[in-house]
Structure 1
Amino acid sequence: MTGTLEFSKKKGTEDVVYKYDINETREHGVVLIINNVYFTEKDKADRESSNEDAKRLKKVFEGLHYQVIVHEDLLAEEIRTNVSAIAAGVVTKKHDSFICCILSHGNPVGIEGVDGKTVTVAELADIVNSKECSALHGKPKIFLFQATRGSNIPEPAVADEEEQRVSASLRALPPEADFLFGFSTSDGNVAARDVYTGSQYIKALCEYFDPKYSSRLSLDELLLLVNYKVSGNPIDYNLPYKYHQMPEIRSTLRGKFYFLK
């Protein structure tokens, strides 16, 4: 019951699709949610409303028949060890995918633990590509990040601009296939989060990951809807202009991946 590739006809076009079967536990895979709220570093503000994001994610993935595991307030090294432990010890060959959602502070290099230390995207990719995580070989490994990637709040573009530079941490990613990285904001920029209701990125993710949409659309199509909604929702930062946050998708998936048949 491992994930396989097949060719399927859809509206006259031929797509390469990840094909999977629901195993006997009705769990497609495992979702690890790391929710960092309270930080030991004095210069790092706590993130209380992140609890709302974690609740939304847990509900939507349980509805998609994933086993959901939530860990809170992890140090950087604990992020590494928990991702390794879940990907190697909980994910089995019967599962179809692994999803890791990290809600935390971040910087242009990566994601921060509650101790203010950084875990890079390349490190996370290396962990789930290790021999210990062999059950994930050839299967989608999906990372979704709600975290700032810098301090910039750029003005809206009025004309086409040059392609954004690729961050050093992502250029260092290993060449293995079957990864998808979803970032709440583009490289170097702020990720907005309401102090009471959580982030618009996670709200949009949960809206479109609902079976109403995920029963018909592939993951890449769902994330494009998220990009469209978030980028079209201006944010007031008490500046002369309103900030339009632009999420980012980085993918080496080899075909379309569906949460539901």
Structure 2
Amino acid sequence: MSADLGQPIVIDNRPGAGEAIGAGVAAKAPADGYTLLLSTMTTQAINPVLYPKLPFDASKELTAIGRVADVPAMLAVNPSVPATNVPEFLRYLKANPGRNYASPGAGTPNHLATELFKRAADVEVTHIPYKGGAPAVQDLMAGQVDFMLILAPEAMPNVKAGKLRSLAITTQQRSPMFADLPTVSESGLKGFELVVWYILLAPTGTPKDVVARLNKSLNTVLNDSALKSKLAELSIQPAGGTTEDATAFANKEAVKWKKVIEESNIKVD
């Protein structure tokens, strides 16, 4: 986008509080098109429910430029788990209630989706939250936990190395990047899906012509064959589309994850 716009783009990483710190900075920035937010689903579809006292309202103070990409997850187990597919794994969990699963932290998409998986499969498993994905994956490989929903780019190197076993992918349809891997949905939990989506946002009030120019640039870049190839290597599917598409999609996802949070009674300190 920097090359397409003829403008330098400075990446200002603001980690912490499940994206809330970075999102707060963007929400309060001047609405001039010069401060944007690249976020995951967390900012719009999860945090408003998990953190009702945030000092900003993402639905009112941030507006969509466009969806950037979708990243699937994999249901992965430690190789010592006696299961090579989802039905075998569910039988194992039912016969051994109280087995545990890892997540990058309470309230993360991985955590919420595993709670959805737990309820859909009617199994009793214990959540072990970590401070980030890397230590969670390390303990999964070490056998400290039994399974995890891991983003495909994080999972694949360890699956190929034999340190993890992937049982299924979390998209609704099989991914062309992993054509031989069944989906969780086709493996018995119909309708189950976890796709971590990325979206580009701007402060609400950013002029419509600026938003339109940024959306056009985003779509131009996402259609670039070299970038598509690079993203495919990382198991990332480019998205794109209109600002209206992005807004509608985010609103639909917010309804889905609000229901999961409330029905699972998930609380975050």
Instruction: Tell which has more relative contact order, 1 or 2 (C-alpha 8 A, sep 6+).
Output: 2
TM-score, structure 2 as length reference: 0.32
TM-score, structure 1 as length reference: 0.33
Greater fraction of residues in helix: 2
